[in-house]
């Protein structure tokens, strides 16, 4: 049975010292649990944030794990709470030089309940800002993942996924009443887009958005924006850590999601939108467009029939 649940987002500044990073997270999590948190959420790259050469040394398989996962599982069991490991460095079985950026959800006994491999990888060149190629050493996932929690169904995403709203609509269609967005959002893009994107996803999907984040300088070339937060289904920020290490608490209430979706039934009011028919073709692409038009016509007919069948 789902219930209103106290959720904590944890914010810290990871570096290349895995033991120190995990010590800090354990301390913050114990304090959050003492303040009533039943679900605790950590940021992306929580155990290590640095060059890939160092990351290769700490990659672990899932779900079996290694020293890092073992310590996280022990902490979840010790605290008796559910724990989201925002971005776990998972070894790629077919290529041990590469990895997945994987979100791992642990239950109150420390067992792995769900894993989600980040789908959208951060390959950008920002003028007067960072130039990053996540896909150089990281492989993308290809599965949309939800998991059961104390408060209901949670959709799993990671950082750059935030810019792709179709993913969040898909998670809602699978029953999500909240989505997690653990991140290490860059300081440059975060200042411009972080708040707007999180609130937009909450409003569009009419769900809670849980966004634990990294903050501060990790090296002379990399800084994260911070501002870990929880946004409610109206798009209101109900908890936020502006800067520094810490945690923030908010209640995730399934009844609030139900109320918002009832009062503004935008999810139920969605319409299937097709591109317009293309009547003129170039000789070189006529066969392609004719096939495309036939496919769209079939989809229109199927959709119209489904609407009539429900009347």
Catalytic residues: 44, 118, 159
Q: Which residue has the tokens 């569009």?
A: 204
Q: Which residue has the tokens 């000789």?
A: 283
CB 286, CB 279: distance < 8 Å: no
* SS3 category, 219: strand
Q: Is the peptide bond before 63 cis (omega within 30 degrees of 0)?
A: yes
CB 5, CB 151: distance < 8 Å: yes
CB 234, CB 197: distance < 8 Å: no
What whole-number distance in Å separates Cα of residue 230 and Cα of residue 236? 9
* SS3 category, 154: strand
DSSP readout, 120-181? S--EEE-TTS-EEEGGGTB------EEEE-SSSEEEE--GGGGG-HHHHHHHHHTT-SEEE-
> 228-231 and 222-225 as β-strands: parallel, antiparallel, unpaired?
unpaired
What whole-number distance in Å separates Cα of residue 225 and Cα of residue 257? 28
Q: How far is CA 189 from CA 194, 229, 231, 233, in A?
A: 7, 16, 19, 24
């Amino acid at each position: 049975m789902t219930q209103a649940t106290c959720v904590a987002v944890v914010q810290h500044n990871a570096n290349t010292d895995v033991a120190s990073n995990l010590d800090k997270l354990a301390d913050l999590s114990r304090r959050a649990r003492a303040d009533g948190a039943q679900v605790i959420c950590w940021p992306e790259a929580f155990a290590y944030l640095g060059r890939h050469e160092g990351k290769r040394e700490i990659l672990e398989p899932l779900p079996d794990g290694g020293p890092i996962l073992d310590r996280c599982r022990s902490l979840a069991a010790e605290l008796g709470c559910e724990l989201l490991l925002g971005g776990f460095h998972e070894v790629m079985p077919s290529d041990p030089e590469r990895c997945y950026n994987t979100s791992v959800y642990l239950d109150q006994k420390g067992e792995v309940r769900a894993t989600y491999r980040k789908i959208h990888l951060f390959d950008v060149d920002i003028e007067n800002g960072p130039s990053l190629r996540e896909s150089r050493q990281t492989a993308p996932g290809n599965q949309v993942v939800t998991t059961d929690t104390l408060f209901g169904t949670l959709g799993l995403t990671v950082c750059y996924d935030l810019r792709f709203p179709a993913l969040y609509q898909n998670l809602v269609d699978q029953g999500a009443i909240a989505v997690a967005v653990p991140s290490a959002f860059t300081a440059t893009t975060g200042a411009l887009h972080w708040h707007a994107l999180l609130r937009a996803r909450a409003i569009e999907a009419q769900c809670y958005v849980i966004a634990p984040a990294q903050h501060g300088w990790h090296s002379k070339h990399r800084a994260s924006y911070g501002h870990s937060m929880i946004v409610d289904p109206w798009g209101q920020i109900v908890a936020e850590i502006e800067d520094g290490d810490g945690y923030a608490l908010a209640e995730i209430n399934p009844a609030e999601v139900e109320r918002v979706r009832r009062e503004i039934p935008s999810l139920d009011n969605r319409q299937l939108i097709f591109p317009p028919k293309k009547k003129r073709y170039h000789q070189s692409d006529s066969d392609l467009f004719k096939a495309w038009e036939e496919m769209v016509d079939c989809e229109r007919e199927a959709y119209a029939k489904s609407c009539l069948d429900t009347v």
